[in-house]
A = this chain, B = another copy of it.
Amino acid sequence: MEKDTNFNEWYNDIVEKAGLSDKRYPIKGMNVWTPYGWKIMRQIDTFIRRELDGTGHDEVCFPLLIPETEFKKEKEHIKGFDSEVYWVTHAGLNELDVRLVVRPTSETAMYPMFSLWVRSHTDLPLKVYQIVNTFRYETKQTRSFIRVREIHFFESHTCHVSEEDAQSQVEEDFGILERLSKELCLPYSLLMRTEWDKFPGAHYTVGLDTAMPNGRMLQIGSIHHYRTNFSIPYNITYENEAGEHVHAHQTTYGMSERLVGAIIGVHGDDKGLVLPPPVAPIQAVIIPIISKGNADVVMEEARKIEKKLNEARIRVKLDDRDERPGSKFFDWEIKGVPLRLEIGTRDIEKEAVSFVRRDDGGKGTIATGSIVEGVRLILGVIRKDMYDRAWEKQRSNVATITSLKDLPEKTLRFGWCGSEECGHRFEDENELKLLGTPYEHEEFDGTCIICGKHTNKAAYASRSM
């Protein structure tokens, strides 16, 4: 398994060997979440719930199916999704009068209800979210977590009294993203998508992109400001203090199972997965080092340590299988367990436990008397180191270019005059994807890489994942 020489093959291999997902399900691109992968996803969902609950969002659950009549109310939206939705046309032995869309995202499911829920300015802001599966009829090659046809996903939807208030929501979303990125050890760039690449119906879209080891950017989520583009066709109005009926301004924020794909890609190595401690289903694995005559003593000590860590709510597993330690090491390395604890005769004599870090191979010992504090401390250091290294990689992955010859396998930064014409030419002639312009101000002074005009705007691009 060589990550650097063949990333795609390495990725598929890891997903299978670590037991994250099974793609042998008889529909291409619809995969089975096997227990280990699902545990990681659910841990991520737990962080998302904590963040969204903590910022005043209410969790809801909307129906999966959307009547075609509702789906078609916003013209840009339906144009954007027409070619990639699944249609339910029959129920039982009957053909339905109105066809039903299997949700690709839930604007058109939620907004008819928002129109009933929002009445007065006192109902605003309305902030809800749901964690559900969505569906896209992908025609490109599918890949576990990264491009699938059934997508596990969270989406928050908000309504506000004004454009400014909606803009503050976007800023709050960045705060949520920042805190999530610490738990997941994932870096990101905030890029304002081009007009032709924004979400269908949005006023603007900010893409959240993480660099993969092959230099390509993976969109791990997006934040949209809709202004009143949906509230007008869906008639979401409120009575303001002056008694007038006004359209609400809306935003959404969504991230998906691609977060799992990003974790695999950013952190994994040739030995397998490397999981950030906060999302790891098993944070520490205990391997008893059995040699002649010491089995009882070692196992007793191992069970004691397991119990202590368990009680401290550290996710721990004692591997008591009848196998050689080396083969156990191998198995847990593939699965990316952040910390390995080894207990042998010599450790017991020294009243210590030996440890090996999965992320950088670092070794050491922890005094048995302070095992809980020691393990917590090291897991914290691993998280921080993984986070810092990942950001460092994300930054160093960017190459500023002034010519389109001999492009490096990196994220490209260059001047763009901002015109659609140059944007399209850039994409079409180079088989690159224009990811957009920095959301936050970035100094730049140069020329458009296509037309040569002077510009103060940098743009970013990469090959597609």
What sequence of 0s and 1s flags, for each residue 24-65 of chain A, a beta carbon within 8 Å of any chain B beta carbon?
111100111111001100100000000000000011111111
Q: Which residues of A105-145 are within 8 A (CB) of B? A: 109, 112-113, 116, 128, 133, 135, 137, 139
CB distance from A267 to the nearest CB of B (A): 23
Q: Are B59 and A38 closer than 8 Å at their CB atoms?
A: yes
CB distance from A356 to the nearest CB of B (A): 27
> How many residues from A make CB contacts under 8 Å with B?
50
Which listed residue (B38, B91, B113, B139) contacts A61, Cβ 8 A? B38
Does A171 interact with chain B (Cβ within 8 Å)? no
Q: Are B25 and A152 closer than 8 Å at their CB atoms?
A: no
Interface of A toward B, CB cutoff 8 Å:
22, 24-27, 30-35, 38-39, 42, 58-65, 67, 69-70, 82-93, 100, 102, 109, 112-113, 116, 128, 133, 135, 137, 139, 150, 152
Please name all residues of chain B whose beta carbon is closer than 8 Å to the beta carbon of A70 when the two chains form the complex.
26
Whole-angstrom CA separation of A374 from B23 in the bound complex: 53
Q: Which of A30, A31, A82 has the most CB of B within 10 A?
A: A30
Which listed residue (B60, B65, B100, B152) contacts A34, Cβ 8 A? B60
Q: Are A113 and B63 closer than 8 Å at their CB atoms?
A: no
Q: Are A93 and B89 closer than 8 Å at their CB atoms?
A: no
- Which 6 pairs, one residue from A and one from B, show the smallest C-beta to C-beta distance? A33-B61, A35-B58, A30-B63, A91-B137, A87-B90, A83-B92
Write 30 A-B pairs (CB below 8 A) sorted by A numbering. A24-B116, A25-B109, A25-B112, A26-B70, A26-B112, A27-B65, A30-B63, A30-B64, A30-B65, A32-B62, A33-B62, A35-B58, A38-B60, A42-B59, A64-B64, A64-B133, A64-B135, A64-B150, A82-B93, A83-B92, A83-B93, A84-B91, A86-B88, A86-B90, A86-B91, A86-B100, A88-B89, A89-B89, A91-B137, A102-B102
